[in-house]
Amino acid sequence: MTIDDKPAVMQILKTTPEFTPAEVVVAEEVLDIYLHDPSGPDYKVLVAEIGSSIKGYVCYGPTPLTDGTWDMYWVAVAPGEQGRGIGGALFAAAEEKMKKARGRLILIETSSKPEYEKTRRFHERQGYELVTRIPDFYSVGDDRLTFQKRLPQS
């Protein structure tokens, strides 16, 4: 992702109904940290482009104070473009980078709300398994789910 891609990525975030306005604010803060210093240690961002148009993005990074664990922080595909393999391609590209950086374990946190049902199915399709649930974490009745995937070591 470059600074020129930011308006398109923000448009995707703002038009994704699953994201609350507060979540969009946090997603933008993270993008700005990355764009200020793309080679910084904490966040990496990749965009998916078809022609010259941005259709989705993924943000990931090494989990602080771990040896080889990475977080998949954020992924979004433009609402009209979902279900065409773009999210899968973004995950594959990010996982390839993590493997090259000697990552061994990838974690994703998500919500148990019904709106995230398709997202949970997406994670499972990508080979992630549900490993923890913290009841009422985000709000009463909204649990935090953690999915994980182990990367093969070469």
Contacting positions for ligand COA (CB under 6 A): 16, 18, 74-77, 82-88, 110, 116, 118-119, 121-122, 125
Closest to ligand COA by CB, 39 or 42? 42
Tokens at 14, concatenated: 């703002």
Position closest to ligand COA via CB: 87
Q: Kindly state the smallest distance separating residue 33's Cβ from ligand COA, in Å.
A: 17
Q: 111-132 burial, b if ≥16 CB within 10 A, otherwise e?
A: bbeeebeebbebbeebebeeee
The least CB distance from residue 129 to ligand COA, in Å, is 15
Q: Compute how many other C-beta atoms are within 10 angstroms of the C-beta atom of residue 44.
A: 21
Pairwise CA distance, residues 45 & 34, whole Å: 7
Q: Across the strands, what pairs with 106?
A: 70, 149
Query: CB-wise, 62 or 122, nearer to ligand COA?
Result: 122
Report the nearest approach of ligand COA to the CB of residue 141 (Å).
Answer: 18
Minimum distance from residue 63 beta carbon to ligand COA (Å): 16
Nearer to ligand COA, 14 or 102 (CB): 14
- As a whole number of angstroms, the distance between CA 88 and CA 58 comes to 10
**DSSP letter assigned to residue 78:** -
Which of residues 103 and 145 has its CB atom nearest to ligand COA in the complex?
A: 145
